[in-house]
């Protein structure tokens, strides 16, 4: 299976849809251990990104991902802007000239995305940030041989749930230290929705 340009557009659309639906939940998560604006920020960012790509007549997945990245960077307004922006920008670079996007290319792109996020946020695994979803997902893609919607959704949910047991040492939640224990990291939750959206697009194809 490979992702067509339309699939990639559908992925961003679906991500937006899922994030809009869960906007209040994301905000609730962020109110517990952050500044309470995560839901509003990512909802605004993805709304704008979906609107931006709806206008374009795209012939390459890389362009869809690049426009998504640039919009998220300038519209989110919180730390997840540069982080999600970097992730989609790295994906864009990796899939450039590879339409439709095959599994190996996408997997390479995810690895690049994780490296980009870690470098930008100066974070590593286990610090209760969105790295804790993107990194295990990149590893998961490396272990598998092809896109599998159900497994992707399950893996992303597990990774998100794992952040509950972590103590935040990076990002705004780090100010709360041990008080962040037992709470799901908001950035991991929105990242989980992005992978869930991808899973839905893949599920719809098979």
Partner 1 sequence: MSYVGVVLISHSPKVAEGIQDMIRQVIKDVPIEAAGGTDENEIGTSIDKIQQAINRANEGQGAVVFYDIGSAKMNAEMAVEMSQAEDVKVMEAPLVEGSYVAAVESGMDKDKESVAAAVEKEFG
**Interaction site with partner 1 (CB under 8 A):** 35, 37, 41, 73-83, 85, 120-121, 171-172
Q: For the CB of residue 41, give the shortest distance to partner 1 in the complex, in Å.
A: 7
Query: Which has the closest alpha carbon to 193: 46, 40, 52, 33?
Result: 46
Q: How many CB atoms lie within 10 A of CB 151?
A: 13
Which of left, alpha, beta for 128 (phi over 0: left; psi -120 to 50: alpha)? left
Q: Would you say 18 or 86 has its CB closer to partner 1? A: 86
Please report the DSSP string for 115-168 in residue order.
HHHHHHHT--TTSSSTHHHHHHHHHHHHH-SS--HHHHHHHHHHHHHHGGGPPP
Q: For the CB of residue 198, give the shortest distance to partner 1 in the complex, in Å.
A: 24
Q: For the CB of residue 119, give the shortest distance to partner 1 in the complex, in Å.
A: 10
Q: Would you say 41 or 61 has its CB closer to partner 1? A: 41
Q: Would you say 86 or 105 has its CB closer to partner 1? A: 86
Q: Would you say 78 or 149 has its CB closer to partner 1? A: 78
């Amino acid at each position: 299976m490979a992702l067509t340009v339309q699939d990639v557009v559908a992925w961003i659309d679906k991500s937006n849809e899922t994030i809009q639906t869960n906007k209040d939940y994301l905000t609730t998560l962020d109110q517990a251990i952050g500044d309470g604006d995560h839901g509003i920020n990512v909802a605004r960012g993805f709304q704008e990104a979906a609107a931006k790509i709806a206008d374009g007549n795209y012939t390459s997945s890389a362009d869809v991902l690049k426009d998504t990245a640039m919009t998220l960077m300038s519209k989110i307004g919180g730390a997840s802007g540069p982080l999600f922006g970097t992730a989609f920008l790295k994906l864009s670079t990796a899939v450039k000239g590879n339409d439709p996007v095959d599994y190996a290319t996408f997997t390479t792109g995810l690895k690049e995305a994780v490296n980009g996020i870690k470098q930008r946020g100066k974070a590593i695994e286990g610090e209760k940030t969105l790295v804790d979803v993107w990194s295990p997902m990149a590893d998961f893609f490396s272990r598998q041989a092809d896109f599998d919607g159900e497994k992707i959704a399950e893996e992303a949910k597990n990774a998100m749930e794992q952040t509950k047991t972590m103590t935040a040492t990076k990002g705004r939640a780090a100010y709360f230290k041990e008080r962040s224990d037992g709470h799901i990291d908001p950035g991991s939750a929105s990242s989980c929705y992005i992978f869930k959206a991808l899973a839905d697009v893949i599920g719809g194809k098979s």
